[in-house]
Amino acid sequence: MKPETHATAPAKDVLDPLDPHLQRRLVLATQHGLPRVARPYDALAAQLGVSPQTVLDALGAMLASGRIRRIGAVPNHYALGYTANGMSVWDVDDAALATLGPAVGALPGVSHCYRRPRHLPDWPYNLFAMVHGRDRASVLAQVEDIARLLSPHCRSHDVLFSSAILKKTGLRLAGG
């Protein structure tokens, strides 16, 4: 009689990248930021007991499905010396917004730019752009650059300066 031999299957991740349980564990592991190491996705993989490729695939699946919108750095502008921060708000012709919004968002002093609904009659603004500078004068100069870019499609604008530092956080799940 011949002894039985068992082929050993190659090691496989415990969870599939599309598995909601893995995705939840990944959000819990990253909700306070990525590990501050040279290879953060490898560190996450080790923590979760999966391969680095599975981590990347799971993050890609969550981005593609809209479960997460982006992965990015969240700088502390005050620590970098940018203590004048103004949310510029704009009443822009809706037909021009799809072209002008990305152009404003690409400007060097703008950290984020997005469309928001108007709340008439009190709030006519539909384009918001956060502008950072070392002082109010530099923020106002950048706002004037935006005004020139948006002209003649802009009817009015204003700047709301920050009066306090707000804690920036991303998605938070209970249990993390």
Check pLDDT > 80 for residue 108.
yes
Same domain, 91 and 60: no
Q: Is residue 14 part of a domain?
A: no
What is the mean predicted confidence (pLDDT) over 151-158? 96
What is the model's pLDDT at position 166?
64
Q: For residue 38, what is the domain's CATH number? A: 1.10.10
Query: Which class for 84: exposed (0-12), middle (13-18), buried (19 or more C-beta within 10 A)?
Result: middle
Same domain, 135 and 94: yes
Q: For the whole model, what pTM was predicted?
A: 0.61
pLDDT, tens digit, 9 for 90 and up, residues 8-43: 333 444 457 778 888 899 989 988 888 889 999 999
Which residue range is the domain that position 124 belongs to?
84-161
- Among residues 133, 129, 131, which one has the least CA distance to residue 83? 133
Q: How many domains does the chain have?
A: 2
Q: For residue 103, what is the domain's CATH number? A: 3.30.70.920
Same domain, 89 and 38: no
Q: Choose one of 65, 99, 120: the last residue of a domain.
A: 65
What is the model's pLDDT at position 123?
97
Q: Is residue 93 part of a domain?
A: yes
pLDDT band at residue 88 under the 50/70/90 scheme? very high
Q: Is residue 8 part of a domain?
A: no
Please indicate whether residue 100 or residue 73 has the higher confidence score (pLDDT).
100
3-state secondary structure 124-169: CCCEEEEEEECCHHHHHHHHHHHHHHHCCCEEEEEEEECCCCCCCC
pLDDT band at residue 81 under the 50/70/90 scheme? confident
- Among residues 54, 41, 40, which one has the least CA distance to residue 11? 54
What is the model's pLDDT at position 2?
47
Q: Is residue 168 part of a domain?
A: no
What is the mean predicted confidence (pLDDT) over 141-161? 97
